[in-house]
Structures are given as structure tokens and as C-alpha cells.
Structure 1
Amino acid sequence: MKRIFTIVLAGFVLNFAGLYAETNVKIDPVFTPQPKGLVWVEAEDAVTTNIADQATLDYASSAYRMLQLNREGTAKGVPFYAEYTMVVPETGNWNLWIGGTPPGPESDLLASFVSPIYIRIDDADPIAVHREQVSVVEKYSNTNHWYVVKQSFNLPAGVHRVRFEVRETRRYDSRYYFFLDAFFLLKSDSPLASGSIDRSQVPRRFPIDLANRRIDNPYLTIPQYEYAIQQNPKNKEGYLLLAQVYSLIGDHGSAIKTLSRGRVMAGEDIRFTLLAAKSRIWSGEIDEGIRLYKEYLKSPDAEQEVWAEAGKICAWLMKYQDAEDIYKQAIAKYPDDLNLKVNYALTLLWESKVRDGERYLAEVWNAVKDSPEKILALGSIYDTSGYPDKALNAYLSGAQGHPEQIEFYLRLVRLYNKTNQSDKANETRTLIPTLYNGSEALDSVLAALDQENALKDQVLEQYRQRIAREPDNLDLRLELVRAYSWNGKLTEALAENQNILVNKLYKILVSMDSDLQDTYRLMDLLQIAKSQAVQLPAAIDMRIQSLKKAQETLKQAMIQDVQNQKSTDAVKREKSQKALQDAQAALAKEVALTAALNAWANGELIQ
């Protein structure tokens, strides 16, 4: 029913827009406000990537999602990459800021817990970016930092491509490891660069102080952190940094021990509690992790996004009552937080309280329907939460109620493509120029949109061409499956998965055929011996009779020889002895023939 409603609503909106366009009365598009000299891109908006099939939900990240690469050093698909398109509004020098894990060092003397990265802009040669080539400015989550590449980029106005690559493993354990949350280009003469920041005009995770370099220090080794703690056991930061490193390398048990030691030695700190809660969850200690989350949330200094994180974790683990309680408390504390309200309603849907959940979502819609910004935020939350149909409904309703807002149509095109509805995406894209007055800004936005689609098709076609040359390369086919999945082409992904399974089955059969060569040879020999085996019972009977006869002959020869040896006739005694020897030889021959027959019957003589 929901799917039908979405289709009907889409048809209504597009027909309405088409009729509007036929009047030849175009309007000026209203673009999403963007501070001067800033180009912001979320990592999960990659045009194409082989880092993951989908972005990872993380409420500490910029738009609640991020790309996470954490694979064995023997992983196929290297280099791992994520590619983006963007519109640079004016020519000039731009600095590249990245939110995620700072890249690994070039020097062998520094600790290496993260892979280094390579960055390519357009068709220029990629540049290697190690820890030495960036300045770390701010830590805004357990793993994410803001850092800026020291080298600036001179870019002309227009559409550009940015590609991040991970080609090397970290040295700690030879894993490919890199997290990417968001990145942005900042023009050197932007008001933001000089510190004039209107926080309402920038994303919520925009760096607080771009000039801050107080934490611009590379990671230390674990023994160095331990030594620093021994020198100053009351310093809480030492325990937090060491626990963070343990989390980076996946040693959550050591992270928990370090945080517990910090609470004892350095005193209570809610950061210890939060990191311990995360580590407990990651290590599978669910109940203790949730208890620690609740303990953290009791603090008046608890961060707002942790309420959403704790509620979602409880919902994922089907602890619905805990999730409801957390969301209700959070909404009472932050009544304007749209993300909390939507996820509370989705939790009700998950626990089969469908009527309550849908009623609450209807209340949310009534509260946001007059605000284009809030409708866009609502659609983004739906998309992030795995409800693209609800996101489409929000954008379609927004486009109907606020047709001047071009962002609704742009998001519809992207989401239609993401959900493999290319016909609707093309129809919506074709409609846009008929609705709005032309301008350079409109041309640039549409050019970027078209390049996104062209780049997706280009990457997929490159994979298909490589597979045509290497049809038995299953690792390459698996990369194509990931590319299909990332771009919403699930039917193609399933078909390619089927090709992989068929290919693997064929390889298994070929390998099995080779492994069974000895078995086949034995079967051939058995087939040859089959005709002789049919005669085996008769041969056995004959041998038994011959053996009995030889035994009886020997017995009689022995009796006769005993009697003849008493005779005075030497010739007679000699003949008797000769007869006895002949009987013994005959019996020995029969025994040998019987043994040979027995060996043949047991397969010992089959060569």
C-alpha cells in the first residue's frame, strides 16, 4: 500500500509540474543556502565506491553516516576508493578539509594505526597524503577528526571530481583501515577561513576553530602512551587516548580495562563511561553496554546525539522498552530534535505498534510541512534510517508545496537512481529545465548531477569490460556486485552474484574432477575385473576341492611311506620317499594357488 501511495504521489507531482511547465511560466529556483567559499560533501554521497556496500550509521558523524574501511591485508579490490563530484562556484585557491581518521604516517618511526590515502582531483596525478602532509585541528568523535591538507588546490569554477584512494595497509597489523565522514573545500579568502562563522549556515559538525592546532600531534605507540600514563596517572587524557588507540586496532577488551583504570586512578569522567559503553557493545557485552549508556545519559553534560545513538542501539537489539524510554526522555529534553522524533516512531513500527508509529509520523509531518528546510531534513533522516519510500514521499510532497525549492527535485533524481528507478529519475531530470529560469548556477548544478550519473555508468561499464576480458576473476565480479549495490542496482547485483555462484560451482566441479582421478582409475580397474569376479565363486570351489585332494594325497603318501620304510627293499623305500615329496610339492602348489586366489579376491593384485 505504501509503495502504491508513493507511485500515485509521484505521478501526481510530476503531472502537476508538467502542467505547470506547459503554461510557459518559469520561476527562479531557490538553492539551498551555502556560505560563500564553502563546498561541503558527505562521504555517503559518493558517486561510486568499493569501500563498502553501504554507509555505516554513526550518530557522531556529520550526517549520521560514514564510510568505514577495515579489511584484511589480503583483501582483493585494491585500491579501495570513493569518488565524488562537486560544483566549485568560483576560481581560486581552495583548501581541502577532511573529517574522519587522520591518515597513517610516512615515517617508519611513527605509530601506524591508519592507512595513508591518495587524493586525485579531476585528471591530475594523485597526491600521497600521509600524517606529515596534514594538520589535525579538532577531534569530534571517538575516531573522527577534522584535518586539513597542507597543500592547497587552484581550481577553476565548474564541476570537479574528487577521488580518495587507499592503496596501502597500516603497518600495525597490515589491515586496510580508513574512515571517511565528510570533506569540504574552503576558499582561502572565504569569511569562514577568517573565523567569521554563522553556525546556523554550516553543517552541525563544521570545525569550531579552523586555526586550532593544539592537538596536531601524531599517534604514539602503545608503550609510549603507557609510559605517559605512568608519568602522570591523574591525567585523564592519557587514558582516553590509549583507549581510542585500542579501539582503532579492535582490541576492545584492553580499551575497557584502560578506561576502568582511568576511572580509578584519574577520577570519574563521563567520557570514560561513554567510551566504555561503546566498547562493551562492540565486544558483545550488550546488557552492560546499555547500562553504561544509561549511566552516561544521566549526566547533564551528556551530548545530544548520544541519546539517538543509545535509543537506536536498543532498538537494533530488540530491547524496545529501553529504546522507547530513552527516546521519550530525549524528546522531552530536546523537543525540536527531528531525528529523535522520527526514530522514536520507527521504533514503534519495529515493535509492531504500527498504528501508534504511523500516527506519530503524521504528527511529525504536520509540524514540518510548512518549512522546506525541515522537509529536506525529514527526508534525509528517512533515507539514513533505511526508508527511501518515506523519503521520496517527503520530497514529492515538498516539491508540490514548495516548487521553487530546486533541492527537492535534485534529491528526487538522486534517490530515484539510488533505488533503481531510472525512468522516474530521467523524467524528473528532464522536467527541471522546464520549471525554472536558466542561469549559470542552474547549469552548474545540472551539469554536476549529469556527471554523477555519467560517472556511475562509466565505472560500471569499466567493470563489465574488465570482466569480459577476465570472466573467471571472481574477485573482480565481487567488486562489481558492490558497485551495483552502492548504486541501488540490486537486480543487477543479484544477477552478478548468481554468476559468481555458478562460476564457483564450476571451479569446484573442475577441482573435484582432478581430485577424483585416482577414484576414476580404480573404478576402471574394477570394471575390468568385474567379468573375472563373476567367476570367483566357482574358482574358489575348485581351489577348495583341489586343496582337499592334495591334502588327502599327502596323507595317504605319508601312511604308505611309514609302511614302506620298514621294507628291506631299497628301491621300494626310495619310490615311497619320492611319492611323499611329490605329494608335499603338490600340496604346496595348491596352497600357493589358493593364496593367490584369496589375494585377487581382496583386490591386492589389482594394478
Structure 2
Amino acid sequence: TNFAREPIYNFFCSNKFALQLSKDVDPPQDGYFATYVFYVTHTKEYDLWMGCTPPGSVYKDRPGYASPIEWKIDNGPFQAASAENVYVKSFYGIGGFYWVKIASGTLNAGKHTLTIRVKQKRSSGWDYYFYVDAILLLPTYSTDIAQLIDFPEIAPKDFATPGDGILFNTPEFYEKKLRVNISDRDTLFTLVQIYGWLYDYNKAIFLLQKYLEKNPRDIDMRLQLAAFYSWSDQLDAAISEYKNIISIDEKNITARKLLSVLAGWNNRYDEAIKYYQEIIAIDPENVDAYISLGTQYSWKGEMNRAIAIFEKAEVLAPDNVEVLEVLGDNYYWAGRAYDAIRQYYRIIDINEKQISAYKKLAKVYLDLGESAKAAKIINDAKQVVDLYPELSGISLDVKDELAKERRALIESYKEALVKNPDDINLRKGLVDTYIWNRMYADAVNEYDALLAYKMFHSIEQVEQKLTRLAIHTVGLQSLRPLIKSIQDDVSTIQKRYAKLIDDKKKGKAVIEPSSLARDKALLAAYSAKLKEIQKELYVYNDITAAFGKDVQTYTAMQAATGWKFEPGRISSYAATAKKLNPQMYQPYKVQGTIDLLYGKPSNAVSSFESVKKLAASAEFPGLPLAYAQTGKYSGATALLEEALQSKKISSAYGNDIEQVLSLAKLNKEDVSTQSSLDDIESELANVDSLLGAIADDVDQKLSFGLGTMRYIYEKQFFDLELDNARIYKEIANFHLQNGN
């Protein structure tokens, strides 16, 4: 098929998947197609039914919510199937799936090929659109015995075709009827299916909400509403709606399963696990719930827990092929190849026509290097295929399939990583894929990238945590020139008046100089400035104190383990990452951070300036901090001003930057007032007292603040090392096996 790359999940479809075509680009010359191989045991007349979106009109001026299709059997001519000649019997699956009778005709016993083709856009849309879930061939005139036939659960119980079947009109036709009576359920139901086909999810949501205000206990309509929420990416609203259904009917397994599925598909595994456990509590023998619960643990990477759940399901249903297969798959992924082999053999013992079990067995043997056993298994499978004509056409080229699957999955990860190179979960998925396929060298190479990106994330997590401390550190460092200037001026004033003050104390006559008023005003201004600096020191002390527990935890862990931070090793990771992608800013940020915290501020400036060139605003707050460390105080405050004005940083830091900038703008002030030697002596004593305490305190606080930053970064790296232990073990095992 060229409908889609793979079937799309739909809870309400047979086997939970449907083949979907939804493309706005024109197809190849032969159209979009899907081909099915099937086998019939007797020559007779059959009715061809499809579980699908009802084919639309071939006429552009008539309603058509899916494309009209063409179909043929074997090498026969294509025949049209459209709104003009099909029979739409009944709705069965959310997503707009109906049972549709396509045609009737005679089929000879044996193998056949059904081809479905789409060459026309739907008349009520802009794209080529057709979804197909199931295909049934029912012997004509056998509607009375249909109930005895083993059909899928979703198949109708009655295949009779009285009247014209369901016909679809324009949206306006149904909207007009609903304006008269919003509780017209049948009209509303049809209209929301149409809205779904046309992607008008919000219109469907609005009408369903209005309907449910008057009919709050209509569970089927609530299921429709939850689906529309999900399709329109309103995840929390969908979850809430499923919970509404459960509040109406606590034992509604469908709503609970959909709630679980929704959580799992959105990587909310713990929520999904909780919901599946609730289903099992209601229905302890619900094998499907056990399978789904185990799958959530498997997706989380908790293979042992997943296997334990699947083994419970096996106890409940020892002959359930799906249980045995998923358990075998998870044994294989967990490295328990021989347990997987045992499971696949059990499946074959139960149903020798289960060809997927033969193929999986062969793949395991190939991975184990036992090619002779793999060849024997494939030969056994070939004999089974030859024995049962309905299996003809199944590919048994395991090596080729394995290679194609491997390439397709790996390429899909690589394509996704081109768009999102720093997505750690994608990289983990790629590594796991390499490991599952025994591509250990590739896994080790990808581990290098994974370690680098995990380090980048760690750096940025700590950076966010420390941003406020960094901003105020820049502020305090930028005050050093002012404090030095005040110290120099106060020293000069002290020398100027020391003898005069001493003479006056001794009772000698003195002539008070004209500079008294200016100097007193200057000292008063300095006193005010020093008090502002003192307030900033209190703020700085509170900020650093907030990290006290983290620092204590880290130093205790460091003492207990003997672990020592190695800046050089982190720098080597950064250098490796630069080679992977020279246009990434993160390696420069890592190197800049290491240089900044470990005595190389000039190098840090260079690294953070490179960050700024590659990703504007990513250099904050590292670059202003590096400027301040190298004495470029005006440059540091200018960067704070730039960050504030550009609004590229979180507004949460706006007040802190404004506070720091107000300190940096403290200027000398000259105010002329009347004064005396006594006033000067008093101001000198006041300023000198403040100055002595503050100058020392600024140095101590800055030393403590920078030390705190260093400890917090080191703690993050320590935590990262613990998290990376499994990765290091995998890499070490690889090198040991290769004699390195």
C-alpha cells in the first residue's frame, strides 16, 4: 500500500488498527492503492463488505466525506464504489467507521487478490481520504447463518440490507434540524461524524457539549466528545471526560481503557499504569488489561516488572497467543533469548498457522548466531504455508525483513533527531534499538551523543536553578569599583581633616576650611550608598542560604563515596560534542561554565561569546557573570540591561535585574550644605564603620556565592554520573568483549 507508512491505532477498530489515507498531494499515475491477499474455500456468490469510512460521491456537487474508491479482484477490471452504488448499513467505530456493502459476485475457491484504489479527492474536502479497517466476504443469502460464523467482534449481527441504507446530506441540512431540537440524537450523531471527517473538531465539541447539558448520562455521546477532545490535542479535557463517564458508570471498562490508552500514548506512563490497575481491580481476569499494563512498564524501560505482569497474564490465559507472543517479545528485549524461544515454540504448538512466531524464532536464532536453526525454522514455516493456501503470499525472507525493519526504525529516529537533536528520549530510543538489534558499536557511538546531551540538559537545569544567584553575583561584583572609590575618597578626607580634628580636640583655635560642606555631603551620600549595598548583601545571603541543603547533601555524598569532580573530563565531553555538531551552542556553554567556575574566566568569556553568536540569549547568565569575573563590569551590567529589554529571559528574573541595575547606577553626588568639623568627624566614623564591614562582607559573600554555584553544578554532575552508571557499564562491556 501507499496509503500510509503503517496502520494507525484506533481503539474501536478490529485488532485496534486501521489503514488510513489522508493526503492532499496528487497520487502516482495508478493512484493510491492497498492490496490484500485472501483465500476462499468454496466457489460461490459472496457479498463484499468493508468496515470503512463510507465512500463519497463521484460528483463534485454532491456531499462526499470520503473519496470514492475503485476495487478489483485479481486481474479483473476496476469497478467504482461510491455513494451512488454502495449500501451503508451501520456505524460501529468512533472515527467515522461504518459497515458498507460494496458489491456481490462469484468467487472461485482458492487464492485471490483484492486491490483498492483511490484516484479522486473527496467532493466535500480538499484531499484524498479513505479509511479501511476490516474486509468481510460473506456468502450471499447466508444472512440467516451469519450469527454462527466467527466474525470479528465489531461485525454486525445482521447483514440484511433493507431500503436504501444510511445516506449522508450536507452539514447545513443537519445543523438546521439541530437548531430546532438539539436533543435530536440521530441527527447530532450523524453531524458529528461529518465534522470528524472534515476535521471540524471544535464544532463537534460545541454541539456535543450543548447536547450533554440536557442529556448528561448519554455515555456513547460522552465517548464521542472525549475522542474529539483527544483529536484536537485537548488531552486534559479528554481525560476529564473519560473520568466523567466513569463517575456515571464506575464499571465502564471501555472508558477506563481509553483513559489508560490516552495517558500511555502521551508518555504519562504512571497514570496509565494506575488506570490499568484499577481495571484489573474491577475485572481481575481481564487479560487485555494485564497485557496493556505490562506494555506500559515495557515502554518505561522497567522490563522486569513488565515481564512479571505478562507472566500473570499467562497464568490467566495459558493458551492465549497474544499473551505468549508479547511475553516472548519482552523476554527477547530483556536479553532472555532462550525464554523467548520457548514462548514462540509454545505458540506454534497451539496454532501452527501463526507464521509470525516462526519468523520471530528465526530472528532470535540469527541474533544468537545459530543460522542453521534459523534456516530450519524458516523451512518449517514454508511447509506450513504450502499446506494452507490461505497463507500463500506471506513473506518468509526473515533476513530481509529484519534488515528493513531495522533500517526503517533507525531512520525514523534519525529523522526525528535532525528536527529535535536535544531530545534525550529519542536518543534513548535509538540506543535501545541498536542494542535490541545487537548493533553494539552503533549503540556505543550513540551513547557518546546521549551522554553529551544529558550533560547539556543538566547544565541548563542547574543554570535555571542558579540564575537568580548569578544575577545578584554580577551585581555585587560590579559594585567593587564603587566600594574601592569610596575607600579612596574616605581615606583622602580622613587625611585632610585628621590634624584639624585633633587640634580642635586639644582646644586649639582652628580655621574650618571651605571644603567642609562638600565633603560632609559626599560622606553622607556614601553612607546612603553603603546602606543600599548592605541591603543587597542581606538579599544575597538569603539567596545563597536557599541552596544550603543541596550543598550539605553533596558534600556528605562526596565524603561518603570519595567522588571527585573532574573538570577535564567534562571538557572532553564538550570537545567531543563540538565535533559532532560545530553549530551547537551547548558544548560552548558547558566549556564556559567549567572555565568560569574553575579559575579561567577569560576563557569563559570567549566560550560564552561563541554561545551568543550561535544562539542569542542562550549566553545568559553565563556571559555577564564571566564579564564581571574579568573586571568588565560595565559590559556585565550592559548585558543585564540588554536581557531585560529584549524580554528573552523569564519575567521571573525582571525584578532581580532591575534591583541589580539600580545598584550599579549609584553615582557620586555633590550637595552643598553648611557643615562643621564635628559633622565631618561624625560622618567619617559612620562611613568608616560601614565601609569596613561591607568591603570584607562583599568579598566573603562573593566567595561563598561562587563556591555555592560550583557545589550545585558538581552535585548535578554527581547525580548525572549515578544516572549514567548503566550506560558506562554497557560501554565497558562492549570494550571488554572487543578486547579493549
Query: How does the TM-score come out when normalised to structure 2?
Result: 0.49
Percent identity between the two aligned chains: 21
Q: Secondary structure at the match of 1:131?
A: coil
The one-letter code matched in structure 1 to 2:310 is L
Matches within 5 A, 1:327-342: 327-342=276-291
Deviation of residue 171 (structure 1)? 1.4
- CA separation of 1:342 and 1:494: change in aligned 2, threshold 3 A: closer
Partner of 1:32: none
Deviation string for 1:305-349 (max 9, x for gaps)?
A: 443232121012232333123212222333333221111112123
Hey, what's the Cα distance between the residues in 2 that align with 1:59 and 1:387? 26
Whether the 8 Å contact between 1:66 and 1:179 is mirrored in structure 2 is: yes
Hey, what's the Cα distance between the residues in 1 that align with 2:29 and 2:361? 28
Hey, what's the Cα distance between the residues in 2 that align with 1:493 and 1:321? 26
Hey, what's the Cα distance between the residues in 1 that align with 2:205 and 2:243? 17
Which protein is bigger by CA-based radius of gyration? 1
Matches within 5 A, 1:544-559: none
Partner of 1:375: 321
Partner of 1:4: none
Partner of 2:353: 407
Partner of 2:257: 308
Match of 1:226 among 175, 178, 181: 175
The one-letter code matched in structure 1 to 2:357 is L
Is 1:177 aligned with 2:129?
A: yes
Q: Secondary structure at the match of 2:173?
A: helix
Is 1:144 aligned with 2:97?
A: yes
Moved more, 216-225 or 319-328: 319-328
Partner of 1:491: 407
Match of 2:393 among 451, 462, 470: 451
CA RMSD of aligned residues (A): 4.0
Whether the 8 Å contact between 1:60 and 1:306 is mirrored in structure 2 is: no
Whether the 8 Å contact between 1:85 and 1:452 is mirrored in structure 2 is: no
Deviation string for 1:442-501 (max 9, x for gaps)?
A: 7462x45443439x99xxxxxxxxxxxxxxxxxxxxxxxxxx999944437979999xxx
Deviation string for 1:382-437 (max 9, x for gaps)?
A: 989x98999997786253476363123x2335668999989888643422476x7x
The one-letter code matched in structure 1 to 2:121 is T
Partner of 2:247: 298
Q: Secondary structure at the match of 2:395?
A: helix
- CA separation of 1:222 and 1:80: change in aligned 2, threshold 3 A: same
Whether the 8 Å contact between 1:62 and 1:204 is mirrored in structure 2 is: yes
Whether the 8 Å contact between 1:296 and 1:302 is mirrored in structure 2 is: no
Which segments of 5 or more consecutive residues in structure 2 lack a partner in the other structure? 415-740
The one-letter code matched in structure 2 to 1:261 is K
Is 1:236 aligned with 2:188?
A: no
Partner of 2:119: 167
Whether the 8 Å contact between 1:92 and 1:156 is mirrored in structure 2 is: yes
Partner of 1:273: 222
Is 1:133 aligned with 2:85?
A: yes
- CA separation of 1:264 and 1:418: change in aligned 2, threshold 3 A: farther
Matches within 5 A, 1:33-182: 49-74=1-26, 79-108=31-60, 110-142=62-94, 143-149=96-102, 151-182=103-134
Hey, what's the Cα distance between the residues in 1 that align with 2:47 and 2:248? 38
The one-letter code matched in structure 2 to 1:412 is A
- CA separation of 1:425 and 1:188: change in aligned 2, threshold 3 A: farther
Q: Which has the higher contact order (CA 8 A, sep 6+)?
A: 1
The one-letter code matched in structure 1 to 2:85 is Q
Deviation string for 1:71-130 (max 9, x for gaps)?
A: 114466861111111111111111111011111123445311100111111111111111
Deviation string for 1:214-272 (max 9, x for gaps)?
A: 88222211100111213433212222222221111111111111111222355542233
Is 1:194 aligned with 2:194?
A: no
Hey, what's the Cα distance between the residues in 1 that align with 2:32 and 2:158? 31
- CA separation of 1:404 and 1:291: change in aligned 2, threshold 3 A: closer
The one-letter code matched in structure 1 to 2:325 is G
Hey, what's the Cα distance between the residues in 2 that align with 1:215 and 1:381? 48
- CA separation of 1:382 and 1:271: change in aligned 2, threshold 3 A: farther
Whether the 8 Å contact between 2:50 and 2:100 is mirrored in structure 1 is: yes
Q: Secondary structure at the match of 1:218?
A: coil
- CA separation of 1:493 and 1:399: change in aligned 2, threshold 3 A: closer
Is 1:322 aligned with 2:267?
A: no
Q: Secondary structure at the match of 2:113?
A: strand
- CA separation of 1:486 and 1:253: change in aligned 2, threshold 3 A: farther
Hey, what's the Cα distance between the residues in 1 that align with 2:180 and 2:248? 30
Hey, what's the Cα distance between the residues in 2 that align with 1:283 and 1:123? 42
Hey, what's the Cα distance between the residues in 1 that align with 2:336 and 2:156? 32
Partner of 2:199: 250
Hey, what's the Cα distance between the residues in 1 that align with 2:279 and 2:248? 13
Hey, what's the Cα distance between the residues in 1 that align with 2:364 and 2:348? 24
Is 1:287 aligned with 2:236?
A: yes
Q: Secondary structure at the match of 2:87?
A: strand
Whether the 8 Å contact between 1:399 and 1:405 is mirrored in structure 2 is: no
- CA separation of 1:340 and 1:492: change in aligned 2, threshold 3 A: closer
Partner of 2:521: none
Hey, what's the Cα distance between the residues in 2 that align with 1:333 and 1:298? 14
Is 1:261 aligned with 2:210?
A: yes
Q: Secondary structure at the match of 1:206?
A: coil
- CA separation of 1:77 and 1:280: change in aligned 2, threshold 3 A: farther
Moved more, 294-303 or 354-363: 294-303
Matches within 5 A, 1:523-538: none
Whether the 8 Å contact between 1:169 and 1:175 is mirrored in structure 2 is: yes
Whether the 8 Å contact between 1:417 and 1:487 is mirrored in structure 2 is: no
Which segments of 5 or more consecutive residues in structure 1 lack a partner in the other structure? 1-48, 437-441, 458-483, 499-607
Hey, what's the Cα distance between the residues in 1 that align with 2:353 and 2:66? 36
Deviation string for 1:194-215 (max 9, x for gaps)?
A: 145147x332112122116588
Hey, what's the Cα distance between the residues in 2 that align with 1:419 and 1:305? 36
The one-letter code matched in structure 2 to 1:144 is F
Partner of 1:397: 343
Q: Secondary structure at the match of 1:152?
A: strand
Deviation of residue 132 (structure 1)? 2.2
The one-letter code matched in structure 2 to 1:92 is K
Deviation string for 1:262-289 (max 9, x for gaps)?
A: 2235554223322221111221221111
Whether the 8 Å contact between 2:257 and 2:276 is mirrored in structure 1 is: yes
Whether the 8 Å contact between 2:303 and 2:334 is mirrored in structure 1 is: no
